[in-house]
Amino acid sequence: MKTLVLATHNKGKIKELTALLDGLVPEIKTAEDLRLIEPPEYGTTFIENATMKAVTAMRACGYACLADDSGLSVNALNGEPGVYSADWAGHPRDFKMAMNLVNDKLGDASDRSAYFTSVLALAFPDGRVETFEGRVNGTLCWPPRGLEGFGYDPIFIPQGHDKTFGEMLLEEKQGMSHRAFATEKLVEYIKNNNH
Ligand code: IMP
């Protein structure tokens, strides 16, 4: 594989994936570089949405395309917002509001456990699609802490740590994030299959 397209316009995802995939393929392009549109997400699972985004981009540009569908699942909210994590931030995206919404819905629930999931879908020009999943467990804090990262990072404390993802520099988050774990599986697949 000479060129891999990151089928997303999300700057947080692009920053993390670009760093995680460093050295794997000679050239990485983004949806923005190729002026690809981000299709609406009608799926009800991370796998469905990631696959749809990767295949749509691959059909539009002809390169191998990698899409990430991810989100925050809160156990006391029966897994919400989950695949709807971006939607809870409205248009234009407002994650302060989305974090407030999560905290309001949680109220005084004693169970503040949550997890991030990332599903990466890799769509090849010959029609094959492979998916890779990563997950990180943690707890939610209030008020939000830290200015690093993106999305819900300022309220998520990964298990075994004191800092939120919002208080961690990129390299630290990359050592334990859902996206990093999914990418590890992707990298192993690419190396084992000579792509
Ligand atoms: P989607 O994959 O485009 O549906 O958007 C996923 C949404 O989940 C993002 O916009 C973020 O709000 C949230 N999300 C996914 N991964 C992370 C992360 O690593 N940190 C914080 N929020 C995340």
How many angstroms does the Cα of residue 81 sit away from the middle of ligand 1?
Answer: 10
CB 83 within 8 A of CB 43: yes
Which residue, by CA, sits nearest to atom 23 of ligand 1? 151
Dist CA 195 CA 180 (whole Å): 20
Q: Check residue 22 and give its pLDDT.
A: 94
Please report, as a single letter, which amino acid is at residue 156. Answer: F
Sites in the chain below the pLDDT cut of 50: none
How many angstroms does the Cα of residue 126 sit away from the middle of ligand 1?
Answer: 29
Dist CA 75 CA 77 (whole Å): 5
Q: Is the CB of 115 under 6 A from ligand 1?
A: no
Range list of β-strands (E), 59-149: 64-74, 113-123, 129-140
Give catalytic status of residue 87 as yes or no: no
Q: Check residue 194 and give its pLDDT.
A: 73
CB 177 within 8 A of CB 116: yes
The answer to pTM > 0.95 is yes
Could you give the domains of the chain? Answer: 3-193 (3.90.950.10)
Q: Is the CB of 150 under 6 A from ligand 1?
A: yes
Q: Check residue 43 and give its pLDDT.
A: 96
How many angstroms does the Cα of residue 175 sit away from the middle of ligand 1?
Answer: 17
Q: Check residue 101 and give its pLDDT.
A: 98
Torsion-angle region of 108 (φ positive above 0: left; ψ -120 to 50: alpha; else: beta): alpha
Which residue, by CA, sits nearest to atom 10 of ligand 1? 86
